[in-house]
Amino acid sequence: MQLKRKDILDMASLTVDEINLILDTAVQMREISTRSIKKVPTLRGKSVVHFFYEPSTRTKTSFDLAAKRLSADSVSLSKSTSSLVKGETLIDTARNLEAMHPDVIVIRHSSAGAPHLIARHVRCSVINAGDGRHEHPTQALLDMLTVRDRKGRLDGLRVAIIGDIAHSRVARSNCIGFTRMGSRVVLAAPPTMMPRGIEQLGVETTCEVDRAIEGADVIMMLRIQKERQQAGLFPTEREYARVYGLNRARLQRARPDVLILHPGPVNRGVELAPEVADGPFSVILDQVSNGVAVRMALLFLVLGGTRNANPD
């Protein structure tokens, strides 16, 4: 089976079959990263541009390693090294990149819809590495892979996502992804951080963390940004930690084999108590490892790879 799309812009446009294909391919890719020589020639001669308009360490490193392990040539552009600071429009920058014939543009941008705008103006593949508060599809895919590894399935699970839903692209992508695969997603947030109408994505909402955790198979905690406090969305980190943070006592309400996920970087002691972050249920580092595998799979698939092609 082949992926019949040029771009990975959001979870909203991916079908169940496509998600399964991507996750299955990622499993094959994962093995490469465990070898002593972590490199296969699969994408030799292909070039990938990592265009990060917004600061990122983890996602950029993950994409870069993914490209290199498949032998693609990769270059990175940041906001400060691109012409955007010189007043060039995003479309012009994209067209200029395109003129250098890359095969894939990976973009992170602070404006929702920026990857969609670029995809309309270039012929090469575009992968969304996070756009504003819209979507972060590769994060959702790596989260789903992490959960599928441990649970053996993605349907019939109860997934709680807790924190600043309003500003979270990770939350949106996971809501869509897990729901599409047949899980039930419940969101918990202070009402100041619960965006209006999110129920239309097919999820439940509550402002009580305990209710969201009740019987959960998966708990995903979101990072709370200090600037939200300045904007008046919550009064203090102390109160946030007490009311909306995850600690060991609270975890009793979840299923005994619950998984704790966090997209990182973790604010220890705020949304996540240290004993939970480092505890037996935490799969946070698995998420990071799976990130490389999922991104390898996506690069491979958008460039026309087939699942059963030998990645060697």
List 116, 151, 211, 253, residue binding another protein (CB under 8 A): 116
Q: Work out how close the CB of 201 gets to another protein at its nearest, in angstroms, rounded to a whole number.
A: 7
Token pair listed for 227? 């600037």
164 contributes a contact to another protein by CB under 8 A: no
- Region of 24-32, 131-139, 156-164, 294-302 interacting with another protein (CB under 8 A): 131-139
Task: Give residue 77's Cα distance to chain centre.
Answer: 20
Interaction with another protein in 178-197: which residues (CB under 8 A)?
A: 195-197
Q: Per-residue string for binding with another protein, 236-275, x by CB under 8 A?
A: ----------------------------------------
List 14, 77, 147, 198, residue binding another protein (CB under 8 A): 198
List 134, 180, 228, 262, residue binding another protein (CB under 8 A): 134
Comparing C-alpha atoms, which of 124, 31, 102 is closest to residue 69? 31
User: In angstroms, rounded to a whole number, what is the distance separating the alpha carbons of residues 291 and 62?
Assistant: 6
| Burial call 200-235: b when 16+ CB within 10 Å, e when fewer | ebebebbbebeebbeebbbbbbbbbeeebeeeebbe
89 contributes a contact to another protein by CB under 8 A: yes
Comparing C-alpha atoms, which of 223, 312, 256, 311 is closest to residue 26? 311
| Burial call 120-144: b when 16+ CB within 10 Å, e when fewer | eebebbbbbbbbbbbbbbbbbbbbb
List 18, 54, 64, 131, residue binding another protein (CB under 8 A): 131
Q: Is residue 49 within 8 Å of 97, Cβ to Cβ?
A: yes
Q: Which C-beta is closer to another protein: that of 165 or that of 283?
A: 165
- Region of 99-107, 128-136, 233-241, 254-262 interacting with another protein (CB under 8 A): 128-136
Q: Is residue 198 within 8 Å of 188, Cβ to Cβ?
A: no
Q: Work out how close the CB of 297 gets to another protein at its nearest, in angstroms, rounded to a whole number.
A: 24
Q: How many residues bind another protein (CB under 8 A)?
A: 24
Token pair listed for 77? 């552009």
114 contributes a contact to another protein by CB under 8 A: yes
List 56, 61, 111, 205, residue binding another protein (CB under 8 A): 111
User: In angstroms, rounded to a whole number, what is the distance separating the alpha carbons of residues 24 and 120?
Assistant: 29
Residues that bind another protein (CB under 8 A): 12, 89-91, 109, 111-114, 116-117, 131-135, 169, 172, 195-198, 200-201
